[in-house]
Amino acid sequence: MAAIITTTAAPSPWTTPRSSPPPLVFTIPPFPGPDELIPAAKSLSDVYPGSDLPSQSLRWQALSDKFKLIYKRPVSFVTRSPGRVNVIGEHIDYSWFPVLPIAMAQDALVAVAIARDPADDATVEVANVDDQAYDSVSFDLSDFSNPFFQIKHTSHWTAYVLAGIKGALTFSKLCSTDTFKPLPKLRILIDSNVPVYAGLSSSSALVCSTILAVLAATCSHPPLAAVEKSFLVNSAVIAERALGINSGGMDQTASVFGVRDSSVFVDFRPLLSPMPIPVSSDLVFVLANSKVVSKRADIGPSRFNVRVVETTLAAEILAKRWGAVLDIRDGFGGTLRGLYDSVCEREGWQMGTRASEEHAMREIVKRIRTEFWQKTYSLSEICQMLSITPDMLQYKYMTRFPISAQSLNLRDRAIHVLEEAFRVKCFSAMLSDGNRNMSALGSLMNASHNSCATLYECSCPEVDDLVGIARKHGAEGSRITGTGWGGCSVTLVRAEKLHRVMTGLRQDYYKVRGFEPDVIVVRPATGASVASWPGL
Ligand code: GLA
């Protein structure tokens, strides 16, 4: 990773009063995005739409009351980051292709106070408002200064909090500034209403909020730290990977750059460039939870990380055969995006229109089919194709993120990625052109799901069932969303058919299986912020 540059906003000696020190700005190459800062929320209405204010003020009041009850002191500030629903573009962000998520209204709140009394323990205390389900944990401050500190219990709920604290300290340490202090004694209370294990990035929401909380708390005058959104995204991506998932950057970008009433078209190359695309109110997205647990810690080694290796190896083998030179993604391996761009350039194809993108995608898919004529390849066959030893294969691709696989499917995974990337471009172009051809949008979602189910094999029978039920009851399109192998479906519905589709899902899925209905309308929400106001 390139060095992290810290820019301290140049204070004007004439206009900056002594009492207000210049803010810290945390910024991180190599993927600097727009130099927007995380907003400071001064009231709940900066965060939530008017219709949510009554319920959110009760929730925030309960958080504040519980904080006082547990820690015998008031909350200093609250950081918040939302979960996300991916509309289209599944499992292509780690191949560096653009995706189209939405930040949800559901979010992870991290309420913080610094214990300044010398008599207080030198600890970081972490509790959850739902103390029946989540036990409180106390960490010694010295744990965090130990460079060999490792998160042992990666499936404990606080693993994401620890990853966030450690990540914040690691990245901020690279910022040379005297206004940044060592980790103080923190009291933290968490309230997240992002459904867990549902493929909605509850983990990224928690990591983003925690990093933001630590950055704000370790600044001399909390919460004055000015954190660049792209710094937060990059730190959160890297911090979360420490828990064993070789993920892309979609979840964190959606959580940080979310915009109310908009989806976010996220491109990762050459820079992180999130672009809001308004979602008009006649496009209704419905989220239905299959209740099949999609737990990252469980699916990482046998599924998720295997897909990352399959797509990486597909890119590298094809690049070797076609003489393409690939950029290395995050110190791991080449990407299909790199391959795609390189082929288009070498062929001299004029890109930038739907027809040219479609031609390039189809031509490259055709070539992939002829290169990989077997469905799967053994590890030794892959070594031969790359001219490397089994030890090298293991070391380069299967050590940092352990995987368990005997053979790999390169062809179908690569075809999914290229075709899905084209669908994202079509869908996003239609949305930004204000094209409300619902059935065309729906068809793209249906095709995305079919590809996830058959080529990428990241769905499961229950989510396939949800998708089929929604389509049967009149949805325009429906697909699995998020990490996969369980979790939720996202469905595009015309407003006038919303009732019919919701009822159909309740009757044919939840009632038949004896589950509590878990189906909601998605409302695109704002991204991460730091909230502080008197009496919080
Ligand atoms: C997980 C990862 C993301 C993305 C999705 C699948 O949520 O964290 O980076 O790969 O799965 O689209």
Q: 469 near 491, Cβ under 8 Å?
A: no
State the chain's mean pLDDT as an integer.
Answer: 89
Neighbours of 55 (CB within 10 A): 10
What pLDDT is stored for residue 154 in this prediction? 76
Which string of DSSP letters, residue by residue, matches 151-169?
Answer: -S-TTSTTHHHHHHHHHHH
Ligand 1 pocket, 483 CB below 6 A?
A: yes
What pLDDT is stored for residue 132 in this prediction? 95
Ligand 1 pocket, 473 CB below 6 A?
A: no
What percent of the chain is modeled with pLDDT above 70?
Answer: 90
Ligand 1 pocket, 90 CB below 6 A?
A: yes
Neighbours of 390 (CB within 10 A): 11
Span of 51-55, 140-144, 317-321 with lowest mean pLDDT: 140-144
Residue nearest ligand 1's atom 1 by CA? 483
Q: Which of 247, 252, 295, 479 to mutate to test the pocket of ligand 1 (most atoms within 8 A of CB)?
A: 247
| Dihedral sign computed on CA atoms, order 155, 160, 161, 166 | positive
Span of 24-33, 83-92, 114-123, 262-271 with lowest mean pLDDT: 24-33
- The residues that bridge with 519 in the sheet, in sequence order, are 288
What pLDDT is stored for residue 20 in this prediction? 40
Model confidence at 129, pLDDT cuts 50, 70, 90, reads very high
Q: How far is the CA of 22 from the centre of ligand 1 (A)?
A: 37
Ligand 1 pocket, 231 CB below 6 A?
A: no
Residue 402 has pLDDT above 90, yes or no: no
Model confidence at 82, pLDDT cuts 50, 70, 90, reads very high
Model confidence at 112, pLDDT cuts 50, 70, 90, reads very high
Amino acid identity of residue 122, one-letter, is: A
Q: How far is the CA of 86 from the centre of ligand 1 (A)?
A: 9
Burial annotation 95-126 (CB, 10 A radius, 16+ → b, else e): bbbbbbbbbbbbbbbbbbbbbeeeeeeebbbb
Ligand 1 atom at shortest distance from the alpha carbon of 201: 7
What pLDDT is stored for residue 41 in this prediction? 95
Residue nearest ligand 1's atom 10 by CA? 91
Q: How big is the chain by its Cα radius of gyration, in Å? A: 23
Q: How far is the CA of 467 from the centre of ligand 1 (A)?
A: 19
Q: Which of 88, 91, 202, 401 to mutate to test the pocket of ligand 1 (most atoms within 8 A of CB)?
A: 91
Ligand 1 atom at shortest distance from the alpha carbon of 458: 6
Ligand 1 pocket, 308 CB below 6 A?
A: no
Rounded CA separation 170/149 (Å) = 11
3-state secondary structure labels for all residues of 395-420: HHHCCCCCCCCCEECCHHHHHHHHHH
Ligand 1 pocket, 247 CB below 6 A?
A: yes
Residue of 85, 80, 434, 108 whose CA lies nearest to 263: 85
Q: How far is the CA of 378 from the centre of ligand 1 (A)?
A: 26
Q: 105 near 259, Cβ under 8 Å?
A: no
Residue nearest ligand 1's atom 11 by CA? 483
Place of tokens 């979790």: 487
Residue of 36, 156, 59 whose CA lies nearest to 528: 36
Q: How far is the CA of 533 from the centre of ligand 1 (A)?
A: 34
Two tokens, residue 11: 């204070």
What pLDDT is stored for residue 21 in this prediction? 39
Strands 377-378 and 529-531: unpaired
What pLDDT is stored for residue 294 in this prediction? 83
Q: How far is the CA of 201 from the centre of ligand 1 (A)?
A: 8
| Dihedral sign computed on CA atoms, order 375, 394, 163, 212 | negative
Rounded CA separation 532/22 (Å) = 18
Model confidence at 218, pLDDT cuts 50, 70, 90, reads confident
Residue nearest ligand 1's atom 8 by CA? 247
| Burial (0-12, 13-18, 19+ Cβ within 10 Å), 93 | buried
What percent of the chain is modeled with pLDDT above 90?
Answer: 73
Span of 110-124, 222-236, 263-277 with lowest mean pLDDT: 222-236
Mean pLDDT of 390-400: 92
Rounded CA separation 309/257 (Å) = 28
Tell me: the pLDDT tens digits for 486-502? 999 999 999 999 999 99
Rounded CA separation 120/186 (Å) = 10
Ligand 1 atom at shortest distance from the alpha carbon of 245: 8
Q: How far is the CA of 482 from the centre of ligand 1 (A)?
A: 6
Ligand 1 pocket, 303 CB below 6 A?
A: no
Model confidence at 119, pLDDT cuts 50, 70, 90, reads confident
Residue 89 has pLDDT above 60, yes or no: yes
Mean pLDDT of 516-533: 96
Burial annotation 156-173 (CB, 10 A radius, 16+ → b, else e): ebbbbbbbbbbbbbbbbe
Q: How far is the CA of 251 from the centre of ligand 1 (A)?
A: 7
What pLDDT is stored for residue 223 in this prediction? 61
Identify which has the larger pLDDT, 500 or 178. 500
Model confidence at 370, pLDDT cuts 50, 70, 90, reads very high
Distant-in-sequence, close-in-space partners of 163: CB < 8 Å, separation ≥ 6: 151, 207, 210, 239, 240, 242, 243
**Cis amide linkage into residue 22, ω under 30° from 0:** no
Ligand 1 pocket, 93 CB below 6 A?
A: yes
Distant-in-sequence, close-in-space partners of 55: CB < 8 Å, separation ≥ 6: none
What pLDDT is stored for residue 144 in this prediction? 78
| Burial (0-12, 13-18, 19+ Cβ within 10 Å), 20 | exposed
What pLDDT is stored for residue 27 in this prediction? 41
Ligand 1 atom at shortest distance from the alpha carbon of 86: 12
Longest Cα–Cα distance in the chain = 71
Ligand 1 pocket, 482 CB below 6 A?
A: yes
Q: 82 near 107, Cβ under 8 Å?
A: yes
3-state secondary structure labels for all residues of 420-489: HHHHHHHHHHHHHCCCCCHHHHHHHHHHHHHHHHHCCCCCCHHHHHHHHHHHHCCCCEEEEECCCCCCEE
Amino acid identity of residue 198, one-letter, is: A
Tell me: the pLDDT tens digits for 503-516? 999 999 999 999 99
What pLDDT is stored for residue 315 in this prediction? 98
Residue 203 has pLDDT above 60, yes or no: yes
Ligand 1 pocket, 462 CB below 6 A?
A: no
Place of tokens 């908009």: 262
What pLDDT is stored for residue 178 in this prediction? 55
Model confidence at 8, pLDDT cuts 50, 70, 90, reads very low
Ligand 1 pocket, 423 CB below 6 A?
A: no
Model confidence at 148, pLDDT cuts 50, 70, 90, reads low
Two tokens, residue 412: 């179908």
CA within 13 Å, CB half, 330: 22
Q: What's the pTM value of the predicted model, to 2 decimals? A: 0.92
Residue 222 has pLDDT above 70, yes or no: no
Q: Which of 251, 253, 490 to mutate to test the pocket of ligand 1 (most atoms within 8 A of CB)?
A: 251
What pLDDT is stored for residue 355 in this prediction? 96
Residue 225 has pLDDT above 70, yes or no: no
Rounded CA separation 128/157 (Å) = 10
Q: Which residues have a catalytic role annotated?
A: 251
Residue 272 has pLDDT above 80, yes or no: yes
